[in-house]
Amino acid sequence: MRAGILGGSGYTGGELLRLLHFHPHVELAQITSREQAGRYAHTAHPNMRGVSRLKFIHPDALETCDLLFLALPHGATASGIDRYAELAPKLIDLSADFRLNCSAAYERYYGEPHPAPHWLNRFIYGLPEVNRESLRGASWVSGVGCNATALNLALLPLVEAGILERAACEIKVGSSEGGNRSNPGSHHPIRSGAVRSYKATGHRHMAEARLVLGESFPLHFSVTAIEMVRGIHLLAHCYLSEPKEERDIWRLYRRRYRGEPFLRLVSGRAGLHRLPEPRVVAGSNYCDIGFVLDDDGRHLVVIAALDNLGKGAAGSAVQAMNLMLELDERTGLEFPGIYP
């Protein structure tokens, strides 16, 4: 299958480049960048030096292909969607442009009308653990928000069981979540050593959480930047409708995620890594989930960790692509990460 990446100079584009280069069923034929056109891709993604000989091309030089990954800034995909659909019969959009299926919800959370509302219902939300069957053979798939993915995967078993009354979550994120363009908050003397809550309420990823988890219970989450490059760490205080024992929670999560290739349950009684942490999943498509149940049986603390560029972006996109092409969804994604 001949694939292309539109908007390949950013961190997500680089992660796609790495994953697709080693995918046995994909020929990555083109990668675009306005600013880097004519340069080797490894000038922006030095980990690919000696591995990939691709050069960036200008977006206007993009040729037709079998599948196109759209790793563009917010709003750019929606503005050019008709052209991109002519270039490839299958599209995966890694921006937030087509994650929601309702123009009113989009305007509520993003503060402006959607540029192409007639396209919204055509895209399948690309979280395989939720939409696996709909993704099989699909033509148009959206990416997922990294914070929303951690939140959705952590809480989904409780929501589906009907026992979650309310939840308050703190999400700690690395600097790569802000993208590869500098801003005042990413300046090294300011960003280094930071513990900065930059979105205490009203994060846009709440739209995806409500899309997956529903509107039926009070849900709050805050996002805090910490001294980390890659990764997301979620800690959710969950209040249950009835007391549970630890074995009940284990049974619930095991039943929901049995057979999921990239969900790992982590909850040891001893040892340094008895609960999930981002560095363990760095560079991988895994999401680790663990929990601690309070003595009253109704206060459950759920912890989740994933790589924001992996399972939170490019990894999920490649997993969705495998389903679109009716391949084993693990193909090209079984790298376990690095440690330490």
pLDDT tens sequence for the chain (340 residues): 999 999 999 999 999 999 999 999 999 999 999 999 999 999 999 999 999 999 999 999 999 999 999 999 999 999 999 999 999 999 999 999 999 999 999 999 999 999 999 999 999 999 999 999 999 999 999 999 999 999 999 999 999 999 999 999 999 999 998 888 878 888 888 888 889 998 899 899 999 999 999 999 999 999 999 999 999 999 999 999 999 999 999 999 999 999 999 999 998 777 888 999 999 999 999 999 999 999 999 999 999 999 999 999 999 999 999 999 999 999 999 999 988 8
pLDDT for 160: 98
What's the burial of 124, exposed, middle or buried (CB within 10 Å: 0-12/13-18/19+)?
buried
Residue span(s) of the chain under CATH 3.40.50.720 come to: 2-122
Domain with CATH 3.30.360.10 in the chain: 146-308
CATH of span 2-122: 3.40.50.720
Q: For residue 56, what pLDDT is reported?
A: 98
Pairing, β 219-225 against β 196-199: antiparallel
Q: How high is the pLDDT of residue 267? A: 80
- Give me the pLDDT at residue 115, please: 94
Domain 146-308 top-level CATH class = alpha beta
Rg (CA), the chain: 20
Confidence (pLDDT) at 94: 97
> What are the backbone angles phi and psi of residue 298, rounded to the nearest 5°?
-115, -15
pLDDT of the residue at 134: 98
205-208 long-range Cβ contacts below 8 angstroms, 24+ apart = 205/145, 205/146, 205/147, 205/148, 205/151, 206/109, 206/148, 207/99, 207/100, 207/105, 207/106, 207/108, 207/109, 207/110, 207/148, 208/99, 208/100, 208/125, 208/144, 208/145, 208/148, 208/152
Please give the Cα distance from 234 to 142 (Å, whole number): 23
| HSE toward the beta carbon, residue 174, CA cutoff 13 A | 21
Residues designated catalytic: 146
What's the pLDDT at 271?
Answer: 81
pTM, 2 dp: 0.96
Dihedrals phi, psi of 4, to nearest 5 degrees: -140, 155
Residue 3 tokens read as 């694939």
List the structure tokens of 125: 């939300």
Instruction: Return the pLDDT at 179.
Output: 86
Q: What confidence score (pLDDT) does residue 183 get? A: 82
